[in-house]
């Protein structure tokens, strides 16, 4: 790995955004590992891991450190972005991996520090003795001082682009690229297709609620299946009372809207509530009044 990097001068500097992305990927991985680990105990009594949660987290982070920093000189987020740590304390210009002391101190600062913070909070949160209160005060002061130093280090990092965390600055480890970065040819065809499709989808989402689909469907069906004008007599009405003009079934609680066709009460009521300008799909008559059908139909006619 050292030979693949070559001179420090020939290595392109790691962008600030790449270093921050690596940190975010590390946090996402830790959350994923912890969520997968806790899901194994869903069948147990609630709170079974509460008393030893800091120790369990420290053990999981130790395993991550063992198979990332200790063995590959890079975290998972850095490996994804083709980044690794370099020993910046070495006098040579060539790439030098981290020493064992740096790796151990990295473990102490990251894993041990977080474990100590969580365990001390649990120990001193419910203690009311004066001696414990003083220790808690000192610990809070130390934690606040470390956060202040971290903030100052982050501001320096934004200016100079090296040492994204306070641990990296203290240990003298720097993020570098594993391999020389070549100029990438960025094509915008895929991006243009995505932008076009998203724009078209947003247009459809805005337009579809404005279209009365039910009325449009009934209008098209009336065009495709034109019905001739009917004579207004009892025989014709009796024939059309045998089926609902909307659902095609025997009309339940038959009602009329002023034309010769009959509808189920729920069919015509729901369509009329949905569209105030509802028209009969058979003849195109508008709804004048919704009246129950008074003409009686014998079941023998329906069976015939």
Q: What is the pLDDT of residues 1-17, one digit of tens each?
A: 444 444 444 456 788 88
Instruction: Report how far residue 274's alpha carbon sits from residue 122's, in angstroms, rounded to the nearest whole number.
Output: 60
Instruction: Report how far residue 223's alpha carbon sits from residue 219's, in angstroms, rounded to the nearest whole number.
Output: 6
Bridge partners, residue 263, by sequence = 255
Around Cβ 244, how many Cβ atoms within 10 Å? 22
Contact (Cβ atoms closer than 8 angstroms) between residue 274 and residue 211: no
Q: What is the pLDDT of residue 181?
A: 62
Return all residues near 20 (Cβ < 8 A) that are at least 6 apart: 164
Tens-level pLDDT at each residue, the chain (304 residues)? 444 444 444 456 788 888 999 999 999 999 999 999 988 888 888 878 888 888 899 999 999 999 999 998 899 998 888 888 988 887 677 778 888 999 999 999 999 888 888 887 766 666 555 666 777 778 788 888 989 999 999 999 999 988 999 999 999 898 888 776 665 566 678 888 888 999 899 988 888 877 777 667 766 766 765 544 444 444 455 455 677 888 878 888 888 887 878 888 888 888 888 777 777 877 777 777 778 876 555 444 444 4
Bridge partners, residue 119, by sequence = none
Regarding pTM above 0.75, the answer is no
- Tell me what the pLDDT averaged over the chain comes to: 78
Q: What is the pLDDT of residue 240?
A: 54
Outline where the chain has alpha helix (H): 2-5, 16-39, 53-67, 69-72, 76-80, 100-107, 113-124, 130-160, 166-171, 189-207, 213-224, 234-240, 265-274, 299-303
Q: What is the pLDDT of residues 93-142, one digit of tens each?
A: 777 888 899 999 999 999 988 888 888 776 666 655 566 677 777 878 88
Find where tokens 């369990």 sit.
56
């Amino acid at each position: 790995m050292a030979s693949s990097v070559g001179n420090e001068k020939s290595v392109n500097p790691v962008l600030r955004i790449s270093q921050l992305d690596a940190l975010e990927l590390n946090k996402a991985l830790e959350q994923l590992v912890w969520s997968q680990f806790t899901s194994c105990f869903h069948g147990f009594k609630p709170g079974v891991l509460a008393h030893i949660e800091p120790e369990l987290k420290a053990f999981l982070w130790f395993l991550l450190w063992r198979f990332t920093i200790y063995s590959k000189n890079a975290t998972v987020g850095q490996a994804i972005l083709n980044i690794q740590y370099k020993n910046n304390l070495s006098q040579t210009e060539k790439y030098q991996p981290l020493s064992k002391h740096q790796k151990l101190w990295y473990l102490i600062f990251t894993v041990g520090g977080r474990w100590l913070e969580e365990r001390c909070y649990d120990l001193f949160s419910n203690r009311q003795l004066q001696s414990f209160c003083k220790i808690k005060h000192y610990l809070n002061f130390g934690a606040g001082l470390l956060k202040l130093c971290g903030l100052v280090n982050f501001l320096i990092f934004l200016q100079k682009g090296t040492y994204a965390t306070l641990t990296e600055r203290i240990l003298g480890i720097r993020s570098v690229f594993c391999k020389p970065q070549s100029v990438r040819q960025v094509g915008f065809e895929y991006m243009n297709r995505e932008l076009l499709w998203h724009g078209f989808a947003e247009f459809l989402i805005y337009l579809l609620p404005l279209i009365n689909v039910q009325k449009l469907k009934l209008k098209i069906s009336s065009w495709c299946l034109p019905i001739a004008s009917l004579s207004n007599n009892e025989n014709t009405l009796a024939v059309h009372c045998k089926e609902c003009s909307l659902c095609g079934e025997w009309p339940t609680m038959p009602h009329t809207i002023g034309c010769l066709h009959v509808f189920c009460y729920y069919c015509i009521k729901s369509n009329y509530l949905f569209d105030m300008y509802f028209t009969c799909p058979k003849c195109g008559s508008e709804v004048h009044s919704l009246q129950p059908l008074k003409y009686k139909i014998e079941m023998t006619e329906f069976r015939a």
